Amino acid sequence: MNQINKPEAFDADALRKKISEIRTLAPGDKRSDEAKRELNPLARRIASQFRTDTYSPNMIVGLMRLFEFTALFAIGYAIHMLYVAPPLDELLGYCGLIAGGSALTVVFLQLCDGYQVPTLRSAARMLPRLIGCWTLAFASMTLVLFLLKTGETFSRLSFGGWYVLGAVFLVAERAFIAFSIRRWARNGIMERRAVIVGGGQPAKDLIRSLEQQTDNDIRICGIFDDRDERRSPGIIAGYPKLGTVAELVDFARLTRIDMLIIALPITAEQRILELLKMLWILPADIRLAAHANNLRFRPRSYSHVGQVPMLDIFDKPIADWDSVAKRIFDVFFSIVALALLWPVFIGAAIAVKISSPGPIIFKQKRHGFNNEAIDVYKFRSMYTEMSDPTARNAVTKGDPRVTPVGRFLRKSSIDELPQIFNVLRGQLSLVGPRPHAVLAQTADRTYSDVVEGYFARHRVKPGVTGWAQINGWRGEIDNDDKIKFRTAFDLYYIENWSLWLDLKILFLTPVRLLNTENAY
């Protein structure tokens, strides 16, 4: 790492190493991850304004690329089919050329920053580049046809009509997008919500720098700082200080926050690490503001909010298009599972109903994404009058509360199959950290009392199966080591997620279920 004016007290490599250690925290001593403090009325009122999800700029830009390619291809295809109606042996050549021209337009627009949010806000400013990229795509197609000596095969008039109609479409579409983005920004539909961590002059300077960015998409929701009024006043640059850093965890649980920006000098290494140990459990990007420091890293070390440089500490796991891919994965394989396993569902339901009185489906409150409580479905495996919705008392070997049918269902994990409906409802994923009951505990301590960083496993949706389960950490948790190792495997999964890993876990699950050693 190359920097100038490096303060003697600062060791960038050491800080990054310690941050890396936090990212892969091994379960250990108790730490107050979830400090239960009552938020003040102002913080609760502001939190209530930010409960709904927003549209990610990355998602909107990605959809724009796909839409423009599809629309340009459709316009070109329609014109050539109506005017030329090429025979089947020439249709493939026309389609290839139209697809190539459409794709080149998107590529050229990308290269000239045509998909940057600030650019999209102003249709007039983008107009020359827009027409230029469209024209350059046609010039490229012309050059290809010339080099291949196939220009006489294609209709010049139809391509001229495609150029004109395509240009009209792009101008009209970009004008509509610019209007929509400005409207979405005013209505809070498309914005990145940020909380400033730390107060005083650094926070004030950061806020002023962000406000100077005319095309900035950041909405500052408030400031949290542990220091008193003398060092960190209650109002900073017009934004209220809503509480302490410990209270920020509760605030973030009630909202949809995208980013936590730490406004502290980068030389305050110990304080930064203390904050990260409290905040890394949240499903949000964590950035360290670098605008006020004299350090100069290589450009690739920074991300930017507008023109304000930030050092990336943590990224929200499985975000934007990754979340879309994972959702498609979940829905597709859930439908496949229902199609294949419906006889098992019916057989299990009949067996539960005739074996003991009570409902077929048992609902239990468990921790979902971002610690939200969700109702998880299972086939009932206990006698109704002995059931334990809180799971405070774990099921043990030979537990008299479990019915004979329930014992088989639990050993074979068939009792978990109704959770596929939780997946289709969007409450669970097929693969992820297993959801634990809200009051689950080992001995006389809750899991969060046993495991450092326990709540970090809730940064993603919980799953029907997971990395810990296929590696043997399944079933009863009757000592501290079991929940520590299970959490360690869950955190590994979150840090190393990919669709291939999900697919591996999904197909290994039936094999691993043959081991019923800890399943009671």
Taking only the tens place, the pLDDT of each residue in 247-300 is: 898 898 888 888 999 988 777 778 888 888 888 889 999 988 876 555 555 545
Whether the CB-CB separation of 460 and 317 falls below 8 Å is answered with: yes
pLDDT at residue number 110: 92
- Of 435, 482, 425, 485, give the one whose Cα is nearest residue 460: 435
- Checking if the pLDDT of 334 tops 60, the result is yes
pLDDT in tens, 397-435: 767 888 888 888 888 888 899 999 999 999 999 999 999
pLDDT (tens digit, 9 = 90+) per residue, 201-213? 888 888 888 888 7
Question: Which of 329-343, 419-433, 436-450 comes out lowest in average pLDDT?
Answer: 436-450
CA 397/CA 520 separation, integer angstroms: 5
Which domains, and CATH codes, for the chain?
Answer: 12-20+191-314 (3.40.50.20), 57-187 (no CATH), 321-512 (no CATH)
Q: What angle do CA 171, 173, 178 make, to 5 degrees?
A: 95
The model's pLDDT over 214-234, given as tens digits with 9 standing for 90+, comes to 667 788 888 998 877 777 778
Beta strands in 327-476 (DSSP E): 361-367, 373-379, 429-431, 441-442, 445-446, 463-465
User: What band does 514 get if pLDDT is binned at 50, 70 and 90?
Assistant: low
Quote the pLDDT of residue 145. Answer: 74
Cα distance between residue 303 and residue 301, in whole Å: 7
Going 141 to 142 to 145 to 147, the CA torsion angle's sign is negative
Contact 423, 4 (CB under 8 A): no
Nearest to 199 by CA among 252, 250, 249, 264: 264
Residue 6's pLDDT is: 35
pTM of the model as a whole:
0.80
Amino acid of residue 474: R
Question: Is 172 exposed, middle or buried, given 0-12, 13-18 or 19+ CB atoms closer than 10 A?
Answer: exposed
pLDDT higher than 90, residue 474: no
